[in-house]
Structures are given as structure tokens and as C-alpha cells.
Copies of this chain bind each other. A is one copy, B any other.
């Protein structure tokens, strides 16, 4: 997870169904796991859904702290992890940072999950 080469892959390319059928190779697995790991925390998952629910799908950090009842440093720490994973992008305007979801990022990992067939129940 310290491999910085994964930081700048915005996952804009949808998962290929053929790849999923063969099982992911090590590089693909690392890339997707980075995103899932970032989503694997309740606070971060709430932050992502709150940003998505916000007007214009963009939220100021000042709007995100109160509903979570957490301090701004904690929220900023979680937001940084989401930015590093390519899920959120940050736009600094004046004294505030605004966060939005990177187009395609969650679609790509959602597509991967939908391509995996389950055995009949």
C-alpha cells in the first residue's frame, strides 16, 4: 500500500469481465485492493456517501465534520486516505477544501464486483 504508483491511477477504465473470470493478476489485485481498503472503514464510507449526497456532489470539509461528530483533523485524515486511493478529489478554494468523487472510480470497482458470478444458492 506504500507503492505510490497506485496513487495516481484514477481507475477510469471499467473492470474487464474477462480479467475477472481468469482471476485478477497481482498488479490488478493491488490496484483494486487499495480502493477497497480505503472504503473498508465506516467513517470513510460515510464520508463518501455524504459527499455523493451533497448538492452538486461536492462538499466542504466544514460540512462533513458535524454530522459525523468527529474533529476536523480526524475527518481530514480520512479524506486524505480517500484522495490517495483515487476515490475523492480535492479542490482548494479560498480557505476551504471541497471534495468530490472522482468520476468513474467507484463505477470501476462496482463493475468488478458485478462481474463475479456466485454459485447457485
Residues in chain A within 8 A of chain B (CB atoms): 20-24, 26, 29-30, 32-34, 36-46, 48-50, 52-53, 56-58, 67, 100-107, 109-114, 116-121
What residues of B have a CB within 8 angstroms of the CB of A67 in the complex? 23
Whether B45 contacts A33 by the Cβ 8 Å rule is yes
CB distance from A108 to the nearest CB of B (A): 9
What residues of B have a CB within 8 angstroms of the CB of A45 in the complex? 24, 29, 32-33, 36
- Chain A interface mostly helix, strand, loop or mixed? helix
What residues of B have a CB within 8 angstroms of the CB of A32 in the complex? 39, 45
**A59–B69 alpha-carbon span in the complex (Å):** 44
What residues of B have a CB within 8 angstroms of the CB of A48 in the complex? 116
